[in-house]
């Protein structure tokens, strides 16, 4: 699945590791995890069809949310994450990646569940890839 490829790429990147360590989680972070951290999930996936035939290519949208105690820290970690995977091309974990591109970025702030509040940056990526046969 594309999520495993993305997590592998991020785990191997030294800038991401310096910002987030191993605090990158599918769906949601465990309760009590220290900031900064990131969560991600696949929003949707559809076949990438040619004009007259279907292909084996898939298009998927994946959203990452980076949480930190300050806006600056959230933006720094989000920048490292985005730089690590944007415009990736090649074979990773037997998946052929044609492209990973950032299509939207949003900042937000919330007070729950952290009583002092936290800042978050949401990053939406579009991926085009083939899964292993």
DSSP string, 68-104: ESSHHHHHHHHHHHHHHHTT--EEETTEEEEEEEEEE
Which pLDDT does position 112 carry in this prediction? 59
Q: In which region does residue 68 sit, left (phi positive, over 0), alpha (psi from -120 to 50) or beta (all else)? A: beta
pLDDT band at 1 (very low <50, low <70, confident <90, very high): confident
Q: What is the pLDDT of residue 51?
A: 63
pLDDT digit string (tens) for 9-26?
999 999 999 999 999 999
pLDDT score at 133: 74
Residues 6+ apart with CB under 8 A from 11: 17, 22, 24
87-98 average pLDDT score: 92
Q: Please write the tens of the pLDDT for every residue from 39-91.
A: 999 999 988 776 676 778 899 999 999 999 888 999 999 999 999 999 999 99
12, burial (CB in 10 Å: exposed 0-12, middle 13-18, buried 19+): exposed
CATH of the domain at 119: 3.30.2000.30
- Distance separating alpha carbons of residues 109 and 79, to the nearest angstrom: 17
Domain that holds residue 41: 2-29+36-130
- On whether the pTM is more than 0.75, the answer is yes
Cβ–Cβ under 8 Å, residues 82 and 76 = no
The count of structural domains within the chain is 1
**Cα 2 to Cα 125: distance, rounded to the nearest angstrom:** 12
Alpha helices in the chain, H assignment, sequence order: 2-11, 14-20, 71-85
Q: What is the SS3 assignment for 12?
A: coil
């Amino acid at each position: 699945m594309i999520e495993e490829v993305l997590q592998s790429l991020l785990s191997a990147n030294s800038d991401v590791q310096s910002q987030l360590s191993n605090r990158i989680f599918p769906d949601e972070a465990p309760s009590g995890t220290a900031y900064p951290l990131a969560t991600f999930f696949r929003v949707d996936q559809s076949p990438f069809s040619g004009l007259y035939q279907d292909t084996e290519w898939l298009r998927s949208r994946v959203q990452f949310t980076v949480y930190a105690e300050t806006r600056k820290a959230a933006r720094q970690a989000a920048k490292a994450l985005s730089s690590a995977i944007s415009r990736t091309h090649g074979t990773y974990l037997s998946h052929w990646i044609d492209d990973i591109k950032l299509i939207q970025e949003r900042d937000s702030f919330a007070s729950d569940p952290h009583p002092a509040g936290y800042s978050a940056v949401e990053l939406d990526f579009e991926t085009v890839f083939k899964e292993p046969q």
